[in-house]
Amino acid sequence: MVDPRPEPSSNPLMYGGLLPQEELIAMGKKFKKLTIGIPREKQQIEQRVSLTPEAVEVLVASGHEVLLETKAGEGARYNDNDYSECGAFIIDNRKQVLNADIILKVSPLENKDIDMLKGNQVVLSSMHQGRQTEEYIRGLMDKKVTAFAIEQIRDEHNCFPVIQSMSAISGISAINIAAELLSNQNGGKGVLLGGISGITPTEVVIIGADTIAEFAARAAIGLGAVVKVFDNSPQRLEELQRHLGYRLYTSIFHPKVLRRTLKSADVVIGALNLWDTGPRYFVTEDMVKDMKKGSVIIDLSIDMGGCIETSEYRTLQDAMYIKHNVIHFAVPNLPSRVARTASIALSNILSPILVTVGSSGGFKPFLKANLGVRNSVYIYNGILTNEYIGNQLDIPSKNIDLLMAAF
């Protein structure tokens, strides 16, 4: 059989010479080099760092540049040499770091940091939504930044990976702290959290049934404590028991039932997610007054306003106080107590996002394709996009989807 196709021509304009090259050219233009600045956290408040040296090495190998303020990793026990060996530039000048195209920080920027921004930058940090001021929000808006609240990033499973990882750390840490606070040394009842044979086990009451509650319950059950969980969703309570593989006492919020349970509690963990509802006190001050002397309250919802009326927003340096003979502990960044573990968890979430941003050609094309990260944007090119903040501070907000179509 004769092959009907013509012989290949030596003319470069035929066949191979006419093959379209647009895809290859587009790929070459798609990559965008990122300059990432990591300022040092205020060490009295925050010990975590947003990227580990290993993550920096991956970003540098991908063609990006990382500017690290000297001693930024100190709280997590990483020194400047660890970072410089992985390709980071160690900078003494904070303003130079804050002039990078992308600012990566764990805690929110301070107002003096905002003043040092050059403008038209990207800022990724936590937001602490319930505590932001009009001065902070308008400062970022005036600088025309695009600001992300890292705790509101969603993944492909529609989950919040930063919240989940930090919640897991917080839940386990809360039980460890409660064990310390119950001891004689800290003015507690002088009891062992959990129990041993022949002695009535301690009672741990958890307010909420989300990720924090799950890991707090796991830790408390592992120590031998009796765990009781309250939530306003029967479905979440059912899911919690399924995840634990353990039948424990659960109840929806009946004030009389909760009050009676708190009277015998040794430890109360506030673990409610209040993003959608705002500050709500499920444990009132009168309920706290009825609790046993030397019992412990740890409110892990304090960064969202708290779910226990007697909770006070504190720092790690001044976390413990006594009210109505009950020991209280309420800080917004409990994972900072185990800064290295928490930093690795954060870095594992943030570094892949940055690599993808670079390979996508920058944040704008990345956000067009990634609805989960777009969910975390609360200011876009200087325009407020978070309706909750807008209502709280009386600042007009706009839908980010409409804004992205306009820019």
Residues serving a catalytic function are: 128
299, 319 Cβ separation under 8 angstroms: no
Residue 188 φ then ψ, to 5°: -80, -165
Longest dimension (CA), the chain: 99
**Extended strands (E) in 39-88:** 65-69
DSSP 248: -
Q: Is 113 helix (H, G, I), strand (E, B) or coil?
A: helix
Task: For the chain, state the CA radius of gyration.
Answer: 26
Residue 300 φ then ψ, to 5°: -85, 0
Geometric angle at alpha carbon 176, from 167 and 300, rounded to 5°: 35
Task: Return d(Cα 159, Cα 103) in angstroms, integer.
Answer: 24
Task: Report residue 270 CA to chain centroid gap.
Answer: 17
Task: Return d(Cα 140, Cα 382) in angstroms, integer.
Answer: 7
Q: Which residues partner with 147 through β-bridges? A: 123, 379
The DSSP bridge pattern shows strands 320-323 and 326-329 to be antiparallel
The DSSP bridge pattern shows strands 65-69 and 89-91 to be parallel
**Extended strands (E) in 203-251:** 203-207, 226-230, 249-251
Task: Return d(Cα 316, Cα 312) in angstroms, integer.
Answer: 12
Task: Report residue 80 CA to chain centroid gap.
Answer: 24
Task: Return d(Cα 166, Cα 73) in angstroms, integer.
Answer: 18
Task: Return d(Cα 181, Cα 104) in angstroms, integer.
Answer: 34
